[in-house]
């Protein structure tokens, strides 16, 4: 398993190209065939992922991207070697699962039933909680959390019953791709809890870096593309002063972390906070999650417990994240796609 080091985030020069590529024939790993990738992505994902530099590199390697027409039967399109998708419509889930069952020769990234597991924040972190990584070059766990599906007036009682300590970070229970599903709130007194809007997940972050809001905290974004791991340090949340907190009544709303967080690569940071998680720990964590989740394209948001060098907490897992923000994603993703088809040819029986 390859682990990429931390590299300053940069998009570099981009070649002027169309979003889609013409079908061209190149040699892939000595095999005189092209690799055809069908994709079904939201407009936002297409803009961030199918960037000109990436498309140019992919085309030079013999990779052809074809947009899937959602108004036509999928079986009538292609043929595809790989299907990339990130659409959260129920109709699409049924279509791609049926296609996957009927076309086992096509690599679907990733199986829809596996992706659905990550669309619920209650089940999202369960696989991490089930791992035994308590003594493997460090410790990885998840924050204590409580799921509230209805009746906001019951939240203070449920929090007390569960023994959670304030302040709490509140997140919507379901991840549906909307801006609302990525909203993040800090509830820092008992009276504010009933103002929250279920269904939601309340996570306890006492003694964790993420709650050091006055001085800021570091979030490790761990991007996974197949067997390749890339770690980027980001400021977890924008700085919040006590004066700003005093302006609101118990609930503070943050912007999306992925949008607000700036790279921490060039900042002068305390080494005890900024030091990357141990490589063996990351490799073990990612290997176990790939097996348990059954997906190859995801990222992990991780924080270090304050005052500790080797205790970490996974706070979020996302399918098909914003790879456009990952250093050198063009080469990493191109190599990954090529490896899929090369492995396919290696498995074919020789005649």
User: Does 48 share its domain with 189?
Assistant: no
> Do the annotations mark residue 248 as ligand-binding?
no
> Do the annotations mark residue 54 as ligand-binding?
no
> Do the annotations mark residue 20 as ligand-binding?
no
> Do the annotations mark residue 53 as ligand-binding?
no
| Domain interval for residue 195 | 121-319
Q: What is the CATH number of the domain that holds 213?
A: 3.30.470.20
User: Does 67 share its domain with 194?
Assistant: no
User: Does 163 share its domain with 312?
Assistant: yes
> Do the annotations mark residue 212 as ligand-binding?
yes
Residue 235: inside a domain, yes or no? yes
Q: In terms of Cα–Cα distance, which of 1, 2, 6 is closest to 231? A: 6
CB atoms inside a 10 Å sphere around CB 61 = 17
> Do the annotations mark residue 220 as ligand-binding?
yes
Spatial separation of the C-alpha atoms in residues 202 and 185, rounded to whole Å: 9
> Do the annotations mark residue 159 as ligand-binding?
no
Residue 2: inside a domain, yes or no? no
> Do the annotations mark residue 251 as ligand-binding?
no
Residue 1: inside a domain, yes or no? no
Spatial separation of the C-alpha atoms in residues 52 and 54, rounded to whole Å: 5
> Do the annotations mark residue 337 as ligand-binding?
no
> Do the annotations mark residue 34 as ligand-binding?
no
> Do the annotations mark residue 214 as ligand-binding?
yes
When divided into structural domains, the chain yields a total of 2
Find out whether 213 and 239 touch, Cβ atoms under 8 Å.
yes
> Do the annotations mark residue 165 as ligand-binding?
no
User: Does 126 share its domain with 82?
Assistant: no
> Do the annotations mark residue 193 as ligand-binding?
no
pTM: 0.83
> Do the annotations mark residue 221 as ligand-binding?
yes
> Do the annotations mark residue 330 as ligand-binding?
no
> Do the annotations mark residue 209 as ligand-binding?
yes
Q: How many residues does the chain have?
A: 351
> Do the annotations mark residue 208 as ligand-binding?
yes
Backbone φ and ψ for 46, nearest 5 degrees, come out as: -65, -40
> Do the annotations mark residue 218 as ligand-binding?
yes
User: Does 294 share its domain with 215?
Assistant: yes
Q: How far is CA 111 from CA 6, 101, 222, 263, 285, in A?
A: 29, 10, 21, 31, 21
Q: What is the pLDDT along the chain (351 residues), one digit of tens a residue?
A: 656 654 333 333 333 333 333 333 334 444 456 899 999 999 999 999 999 999 999 999 999 999 999 999 999 999 999 999 999 888 999 999 999 999 999 999 999 999 988 999 988 998 898 887 767 788 898 988 999 998 999 999 999 999 998 888 899 999 887 778 888 888 878 888 888 999 999 998 644 444 444 335 678 999 999 999 999 988 765 545 555 555 556 787 765 554 444 555 555 566 667 789 999 999 999 999 999 999 999 999 998 887 778 889 898 999 999 999 999 999 999 999 999 988 776 665 554
User: Does 37 share its domain with 94?
Assistant: yes
Please report how many Cα atoms fall inside a 13 Å half-sphere around the Cα of residue 31, on the Cβ side: 15
């Amino acid at each position: 398993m390859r682990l990429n080091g931390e590299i300053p985030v940069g998009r570099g020069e981009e070649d002027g190209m169309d979003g889609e590529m013409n079908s061209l024939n190149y040699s892939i790993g000595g095999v005189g065939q092209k690799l055809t990738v069908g994709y079904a992505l939201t407009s936002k994902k297409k803009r961030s992922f199918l960037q000109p530099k990436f498309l140019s590199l992919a085309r030079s390697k013999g990779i052809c991207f074809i947009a899937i027409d959602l108004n036509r039967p999928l079986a009538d399109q292609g043929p595809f070697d790989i299907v990339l998708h990130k659409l959260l419509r129920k109709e699409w889930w049924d279509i791609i699962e049926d296609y996957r069952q009927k076309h086992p020769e096509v690599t679907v990234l990733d199986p829809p039933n596996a992706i659905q597991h990550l669309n619920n924040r209650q089940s999202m972190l369960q696989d991490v909680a089930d791992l035994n990584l308590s003594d493997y070059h460090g410790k990885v766990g998840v924050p204590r959390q409580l799921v509230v599906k209805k009746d906001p007036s019951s939240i203070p009682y449920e929090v007390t019953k569960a023994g959670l300590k304030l302040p709490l970070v509140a997140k919507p229970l379901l991840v549906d791709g909307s801006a609302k599903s990525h909203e993040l709130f800090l509830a820092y007194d008992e009276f504010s809890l009933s103002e929250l809007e279920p269904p939601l997940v309340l996570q306890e972050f006492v003694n964790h870096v993420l709650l050091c809001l006055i001085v800021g905290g570091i979030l490790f974004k761990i991007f996974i593309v197949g067997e390749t791991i890339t770690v980027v340090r980001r400021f977890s949340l924008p700085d919040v002063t006590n004066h700003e907190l005093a302006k609101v009544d118990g609930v503070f709303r943050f912007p999306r972390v992925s949008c607000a967080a700036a790279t921490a690569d060039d900042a002068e940071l305390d080494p005890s906070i900024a030091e990357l998680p141990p490589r063996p720990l990351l490799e073990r964590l990612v290997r176990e999650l790939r097996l348990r989740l059954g997906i190859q394209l995801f990222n992990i948001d991780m924080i270090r417990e304050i005052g500790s060098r080797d205790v970490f907490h996974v706070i979020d897992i996302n399918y098909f994240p914003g790879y456009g923000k990952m250093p050198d994603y063009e080469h990493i993703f191109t190599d990954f796609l090529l490896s899929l088809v090369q492995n396919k040819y290696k498995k074919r029986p020789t005649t």
